[in-house]
A and B are shown apart, each in its own frame.
Chain A
Amino acid sequence: MTANRFNFEQTIDIAWCPGCGNYAIRRALLAALEELGLEREKVVMVSGIGQAAKMPQYINAHFFNGLHGRALPPATAIKACNPDLTVIVESGDGDMYGEGGNHFLHATRRNPDITLFVHDNMIYGLTKGQASPTTRLGMKTPVQVEGVFEKPLNPMALAVSLDVPFVARASAADIDQTKEIMKRAILHRGFSLVDIFQPCVSFNKFNTFKWFKDNSYYLDDAYDPTDRVGAFRKALEEEPFPLGIIYLNNDRAPFEENLPVYRHDKRPLYQRDFPMEIIRDILKQKT
């Protein structure tokens, strides 16, 4: 790989299986960060737990690698406390749509200006192959012994229904397009979701590189992502799944912009001194 300030100089020990789709996602991300000209000191990678959630370990930037399912609340807070930072969340389908489902729902309402990449391998990778919320119907696992009969969650339709202002799908089978989608997601003002198809070579023998290729297609230029109803119809399409920007809403103000603390003062919280007079004033009113 060419010089990239988000890459490490020394070789690093990566805990992904050889052939894993995560390598392609990492290459796309490194390229996206570099091409956007971001400074390392201003980028914070936030994640929970899972194979996907290890991504921050392999990017040379700040990271907050927290709890399984809990990446969005700290990510929201980090951006809220310091809007100068670029905050990127790396998550898996189990981490985000399973354990973290409630945070996902409410992050869409809050709309922080952060970017969420979900590595969707349709399986719990790190815990060795149980069904995730996006595992396809019928797939047998050591736990779902008769095959999955719970309806898979459709993250695209869910996100469009919640008016997530940037909803896209990418595929690890195509690093270049994934990089482009990532760049647009990071640049988008507000909460952006990119669900990235990611083959898991060890625990998902069904949704392979070939399967993802055969079951997806790119949206063409004629497609208008700003039409929400049209976007919802598109989001409902499965096998083949549409790839690209499915929905775009440029009119939602991000969380941080609604916070009164930034109305007259743009400085991050850590740069501010607290005026003790305010306490004195409040106390005096209590006499």
Chain B
Amino acid sequence: MVWGKAVAHIIKEDLSVVLAGEAGQGIQTIEAILTRLLKRGGFNIFATKEYMSRVRGGVNSTEIRIASHKVSAFLDRIDILIPLNRESLPHLAYRTGENTLIIGEKDKIGAQGMLDVPFTKIGLELGNAIYANVVAVGMVAGLLGIDRTLCSDYTAEYFARQPEDVRLKNREAVTRGHEIGVNLARETIWIEIKRDPGIAGDIMITGGEAVALGALAGGCNYLCAYPMSPATSVLVNMADYSKRADIIVEQVEDEVGVVNMAIGAWYAGARAMASTSGGGFALMTEGISLAGAIETPLVVHVAQRPGPATGLPTRTEQGDLNLVLYAGHGVFPRIILAPRSIEDAFILSRKAFDLADKHQVPVFILTDQYLMDSYYNTPLFATEELRIGKYVTETKEDYARYRLTENGVSPRGIPGHGSGIVRVDSDEHDEGGFITEDFIETRNRMVEKRLRKFDAIREDIVTPILRGARDYKTLLIGWGSTFHALSEAMDRLDRKDVAMLHFSWLYPLPTGIREYLARAQTIVIIEGNATAQFGDQLKLATGVDIGNRILKYNGMPFSVEELVEKIRPYTVRS
């Protein structure tokens, strides 16, 4: 196999750099410094990582796209591969080709045609092999022409909390790498990527941070969770915010405790969120039903990973829509949101709290590992207009928690706020909240009351995005985190007869979808699961059975290239 060629590489507009190494080799550090450095240098950045479920060894890799324009999706293509261990090569072989330039330590990696840069040797010259990864950072920065001073200053800033000599050594390491990169750019690798001064004010946050920040903006002041990949980042971020914001963050003994605690917190007037992944959510299902029965609002974030059971703990999938949709025994309304992007993760996570509070139903934020762990530069979120909805009433003496109302929503009081008494009961109950077994009347009224809430929920639906040709012949349908990859694939296909309809509000579905479908000659559903779970929902809602399916379930996200290839056959030949 030929691992790339070492001369006269020309890369234009959009560069995909992949750094790979074993867990514990500092790939995360490289990614963190490099992406921020490049962004400060004025480049558009996208980063995503894939990693193994282990603390040491194996192969983890990070893809960093550096582009003249905004980029926000995963590419298979690797322009420059920087492997820090030998095992990285076979691990990533399916994504490399003759145009992949491999840069690294030749005696360690041993790939033909690779560019030899002795990161470790330089590290050792500075006193320790651990500086090798920062040498690599400097090299990439140098390649892209990042200012030397910016490079060394930022590196020193990054290690600000380290002892003086560590800080200085890292600074030196990055400078040594920078020099190598500058030379490479002069002699072997020609990179033409424009800088965009407009992005200076952009932020870079991961999906996990966006969910946590969105929750915070939604007034979340109680976060409980039991650690589980890939949801843990939300727990950790909220814990971090709790240093300055009034939030109770509690790591609970198990997910059953998590959901029941979150419900108790809402009952007492907090805005609580439970955050988990599929396995943990499975344990919460009885609690979801409790929220449905006692009409206590609830927000649950479910970051999907491939199942069944433990599955692939660090990988991605869109396989838990059915789980979230059908979780909980009995019949009651719910809302399912699946953010399509980092921005949307912030917006919808915030919105989830008002929706839950307003309609007194469980609201799910359905994300996945890919969204959790990816980021790109995006304009600072507008927060000026944001307000936290107030839906709690001060109770009076004659308060009854489940007062029958026209729209099904009874004013929600909380204990200690007003002179009324607030009774909630998981048993079927009467208007006062007391247990009842009256099947002649009360039971039916309560079931119907709860279901009436669907009408008001429907008025709040966020409609799907239609993107692409107005007079489309082929309609692509997706949901959640596939948005950016699908968009870029569509742009690459550059067809006048293709459009995509993308959903981030999954349930209940809006009316009017059938009209979108009717206008297409060919409909293709694209989902990150093996059975097109959302396709089944569309069929229920519209009667249309979408037979054309592009499904992925190996644990990796859809790449732009594979979508282009798989969509192409469905476009009308012209």
Interface residues of A (CB under 8 A from B): 15, 40-42, 44, 46, 49, 54, 56-57, 60-67, 70, 72-78, 80-82, 84-85, 102-103, 105-106, 259-261, 265, 268-270, 272-276, 278-284, 286-287
Contact = CB atoms under 8 A, between A and B. Distances in A.
B290 interface: yes
A80 B248 CA distance: 8
A259 B216 CA distance: 18
B257 A73 contact: yes
7 contacts: A41-B418, A67-B286, A78-B268, A269-B246, A275-B245, A278-B244, A287-B380
A75 B264 contact: yes
A73 B284 CA distance: 13
A102 B257 contact: yes
B477 interface: no
A65 B423 CA distance: 8
B276 to A, nearest CB: 14
Given A65-B424, A85-B268, A70 B246 contact: no
Contacts of A56: 423
Contacts of A261: 221, 242, 246-248
Contacts of A103: 253, 256-257
B341 to A, nearest CB: 16
Contacts of A40: 421
Contacts of B287: 67, 70
Contact of A78 (B245, B264, B418): B264
A270 B221 CA distance: 9
B216 A42 contact: no
Given A70-B287, A274-B245, A82 B221 contact: no
Given A41-B416, A81-B270, A279-B217, A61 B421 contact: yes
Contacts of B261: 73-74, 76-77
A259 to B, nearest CB: 6
Contact of A81 (B248, B257, B386, B420): B248
Interface of B: 200-205, 209, 213, 216-217, 219, 221-222, 224, 241-248, 250, 252-254, 256-258, 260-265, 267-270, 272, 286-287, 290, 294, 380-381, 383, 386, 388, 392, 414-427, 433-435
Contacts of A77: 222, 224, 261-265, 267-268, 270, 272
A221 to B, nearest CB: 38
A223 to B, nearest CB: 33
Contacts of B433: 63
Given A81-B222, A286-B204, A73 B264 contact: yes
A82 B213 contact: no
Sort A-B residue pairs by CB-CB distance and give the 3 closest, nearest first. A74-B264, A270-B269, A77-B264
A7 to B, nearest CB: 13
A282 B213 CA distance: 9
Contact of B246 (A60, A66, A274): A274
Nearest to B252: A73
A67 B268 contact: no
A60 B417 CA distance: 16
A56 B421 CA distance: 12
A269 B265 CA distance: 10
Contact of A286 (B205, B260, B269): B205
A64 B424 contact: yes
A22 to B, nearest CB: 15
A270 B270 contact: yes
A66 B263 contact: yes
A41 B224 CA distance: 27
Given A62-B415, A106-B253, A259 B248 contact: yes
Given A278-B216, A278-B245, A279-B216, A78 B425 contact: no
A75 B392 CA distance: 20
Nearest to B221: A269
Q: Which of B213, B246, B247, B422 has the most CB of A within 10 A?
A: B246
Contacts of B267: 64, 74, 77-78
B289 to A, nearest CB: 8
A275 to B, nearest CB: 8
A81 B242 CA distance: 15
B216 to A, nearest CB: 6
Given A77-B222, A102-B254, A287 B264 contact: no
A41 B238 CA distance: 32
Contacts of A85: 268, 415-416
A62 B260 contact: no
Given A74-B260, A270-B392, A65 B426 contact: yes
A149 B522 CA distance: 66
Contacts of A82: 268-269, 414-416
A4 to B, nearest CB: 15
B292 to A, nearest CB: 12
Contact of B264 (A41, A76, A84, A106): A76
Contacts of A60: 421
A44 B415 contact: yes
Contacts of A284: 380
B269 A81 contact: yes
Given A65-B435, A67-B260, A260-B242, A78 B201 contact: no
Contact of B257 (A42, A106, A276): A106
Contacts of B294: 64, 66
A84 B435 CA distance: 27
Contacts of A65: 423-427, 435
A73 B260 contact: yes
A221 B181 CA distance: 82
A246 B245 CA distance: 41
A41 B416 CA distance: 6
B426 A49 contact: yes
Contacts of B415: 41-42, 44, 62, 78, 82, 85
Contacts of B204: 286-287
A284 B381 CA distance: 10
Contact of B260 (A66, A80, A259, A265): A66
A111 to B, nearest CB: 13
Contacts of B252: 73, 106
A67 B260 CA distance: 8
A42 B424 CA distance: 16
Contacts of A259: 248
Q: Which of B272, B381, B386, B416 has the most CB of A within 10 A?
A: B416
A57 B435 contact: yes
Contacts of B381: 283
A48 to B, nearest CB: 9
A56 B217 CA distance: 36
B248 A74 contact: no
Q: Which of A76, A283, A286 has the most CB of B within 10 A?
A: A286
A106 B294 CA distance: 25
A76 B425 CA distance: 17
Contacts of A81: 222, 248, 264-265, 268-270
Given A40-B421, A64-B264, A274 B221 contact: yes
Nearest to A49: B426
A105 B248 CA distance: 21
A52 to B, nearest CB: 14
A74 B434 contact: no
A270 B386 CA distance: 19
